Amino acid sequence: MLRKICAASLILLLAFSLALAEDYPFSQYLNIKSASAPALSPDGGQVAFLTNITGTRQIWVVDPQGGCPQQITFYPNTINDIFWSPDGKWILFEMDKDGNEKFQLYLVSPDGSHTIQLTDKPNVIHSFGGWLKDGHNLAFSSNERNEAYFDIYIMDIRTKQSKMVYQKDALLETYGFSPDQKHLIIKENITNLNANLYLFDFATSTAKLLTLHQGDAVYDYISWTPDSRGFYLCSDQNRDFVNLAFYDIKTRKLKYIENQKRDIEELTISKDGRYLAYVENDNGYGVLKVKNLKTEEDLAPLALRGIATNLEFSEDGNKLAYTYVSPTSNADVRLYDFKENRATQVTNSTKAGIPQESFMEPNLIKYKSFDGLEIPAFLYLPKEAGKNGKVPVILSVHGGPEAQERPFFAIVFQYFISRGYAIFAPNIRGSTGYGKKYTHLDDIKLRGNAIKDVVYAAEYLKNYRLIDPDKIVIYGGSYGGYMTLAAITFYPDLWAAAVDIVGIANFESFLQNTGVWRRKLREAEYGYLDKDIQILRKFSPIHYVDNIKTPLFVIQGANDPRVPKSEAEQIVESVKAKGGIVEYLLFEDEGHGLSKLPNRIKGYSAIADFLDKYVKGKP
């Protein structure tokens, strides 16, 4: 009997080892699904969420206790956000067309039997901003009056008639109504790192500035107390990191309730005022915390090392829904029960038959740049690294740049790791998550310092014992695409291949052609057309194409409102004109990146073939 058990164990172990060694095609990895953005029905009987099971994110609903999820929307385009109406009769969602980001507002009944399009202005952007308690009226922001500015509107969903309640030549959005329905918080975005809050009074139709401040300050995740005396929020006013704070509308004062050298990135309060849930950014990991506001007790419902996001309390405050994702676990919806002190997984997204054990965790490392600044980075190594010689590496630069490389479940990373590539993903200067000062270290004339951070990442990798110094790939999307082009033009001798996805080639034409409402936000980061033109030209890769020695692959969406396709076309045409190696894929039904499954399979499979050819020497 013991021999049989041992033999069976050996067979299972062999089968498991073969499974891990199997090469799964990119198309299979891209069929790994995710579920996110949970929204709890007012009666607690249903959880609505978004999942890409059908190839694009659609709305599904499920009983929180379990059962078979039901799909209730069936569109070829990706759905953005979802919100239950207070009476539970409708789920509101936002959707654009083919990635153009001109979002319209829709309602769908919870059983999917009835859909209403609330806005039908294809050239206008609409952004939901909160429901009134009656379930008939909602707030939203829109740039209907002027493409460059967003005003605040109230709509009656029964008639679909809307009324502008606040107008300003600014980028406005709203965080919703106070519980007593007397006020609306309006946020004015001055730059991506600077804002103001206004308190709009429905009785007087006036808005009062709440956040007079010096320098840059962010104010996010406004969450009213049940008595409407004020609201909790995240802010970095007069400090380096984004911390928890409370704003008292009677005294008109913001008071911090902590002083920590790490960012808070999300918060929400239960409707009964008992619990404050928030997420701490711990070197890119998103740690879920809950504070009992009555007892001051701190709870930690999620001990796993990953990222929690999309927080939402049930109406009675006894449950908290959230999305959880980690480097080795695709995103799924979870529900934490405060009475039972346990979390249950509401959705179970497929891993497409690929063993979870094959997915790799990153190591968090730091390397020094040219000026001694320490740059944090995530290093993923393939399982067999070091056993069959040194491995090629993909140096991936994130977009933004006001963003952060984080340990999400990255399908593209995991595929390349399975094919023997290492991944090195730094948070170069200009990234968020490390304080306001760090985020501003790449502004305008300092752009070259951020480029040097990428160069010093390559130098770090060249000296890493497991990495082949002659097989370093530079890769990125959006601002990361810009960094890819900057790397191969300013430092052309470091790279074996390059991949640019919707990247900027020419700051001057980019600022001229990007969405009008975005121009001011981006000029604050890159430089102003009217006074920084020489700096913009100095750091634009298009002016240094003759330096390129690296085989280049470019992907672009034809409907991209952020980085227009003219950026990709400039760099592709210029490289071709000088006889360089460049491959180009333009997707007519995509915007800022690839969202539709057939396009993702085509685009990323082509990237894999390109890298195999020019890095691994495969025909």
**β-pair type (329-337, 342-345):** antiparallel
Confidence (pLDDT) at 101: 96
What would the pLDDT profile of 353-362 be if each residue is shown by its tens digit? 999 999 999 9
What would the pLDDT profile of 560-616 be if each residue is shown by its tens digit? 999 999 999 999 999 999 999 999 999 999 999 999 999 999 999 999 999 999 999
- What sign does the dihedral 398-403-407-412 (CA atoms) show? negative
Reply yes or no on whether the pLDDT at 18 is more than 50. Answer: no
Confidence (pLDDT) at 4: 33
Confirm if 590 and 599 have CB atoms less than 8 A apart. yes
Confidence (pLDDT) at 606: 97
Reply yes or no on whether the pLDDT at 40 is more than 80. Answer: yes
Reply yes or no on whether the pLDDT at 471 is more than 80. Answer: yes
Percentage above 70 pLDDT, the chain = 96
Cα angle: 222, vertex 134, 248; to 5 degrees: 30
Confirm if 48 and 38 have CB atoms less than 8 A apart. yes
Confirm if 542 and 507 have CB atoms less than 8 A apart. no
Confidence (pLDDT) at 303: 67
Confidence (pLDDT) at 361: 97
Confidence (pLDDT) at 302: 64
What would the pLDDT profile of 493-548 be if each residue is shown by its tens digit? 999 999 999 999 999 999 999 999 999 999 999 999 999 999 999 999 999 999 99
Mean pLDDT, rounded, for 441-457: 98
- Backbone φ/ψ region at 463: left (φ over 0), alpha (ψ -120 to 50), beta: alpha
Distance between CA atoms of residues 479 and 505, nearest Å: 10
Burial class of 596 by CB neighbour count within 10 A (0 to 12, 13 to 18, 19+)? buried
Confidence (pLDDT) at 3: 36
Supply the mean pLDDT for the chain. Answer: 94
Whether the predicted model's global pTM rises above the 0.85 cut? yes
Confidence (pLDDT) at 388: 80
8-state DSSP, 291: E
Split at pLDDT 50, 70, 90, the class of 16 is very low
Percentage above 90 pLDDT, the chain = 92
Of 70-74, 302-306, 432-436, least confident by mean pLDDT is 302-306
What would the pLDDT profile of 409-435 be if each residue is shown by its tens digit? 999 999 999 999 999 999 999 999 999
Interaxial angle between packed helices 479-490 and 447-462, expressed in degrees from 0 to 180 and rounded to the nearest 10 = 70
Retrieve residue 350's tokens.
């497929």
Mean pLDDT, rounded, for 228-243: 98
Retrieve residue 519's tokens.
């121009």
Mean pLDDT, rounded, for 89-108: 97
> Which domains are present in the chain?
270-350 (no CATH), 356-614 (3.40.50.1820)
8-state DSSP, 406: -
Confidence (pLDDT) at 22: 62
Reply yes or no on whether the pLDDT at 387 is more than 90. Answer: no
Residues 6+ apart with CB under 8 A from 364: 283, 284, 376, 377, 378, 379
Mean pLDDT, rounded, for 240-245: 98
Mean pLDDT, rounded, for 134-153: 97
Split at pLDDT 50, 70, 90, the class of 7 is very low
Distance between CA atoms of residues 307 and 204, nearest Å: 42
Short-list 383, 394, 376, 385, CA closest to 357: 383
Reply yes or no on whether the pLDDT at 286 is more than 50. Answer: yes
Reply yes or no on whether the pLDDT at 266 is more than 80. Answer: yes
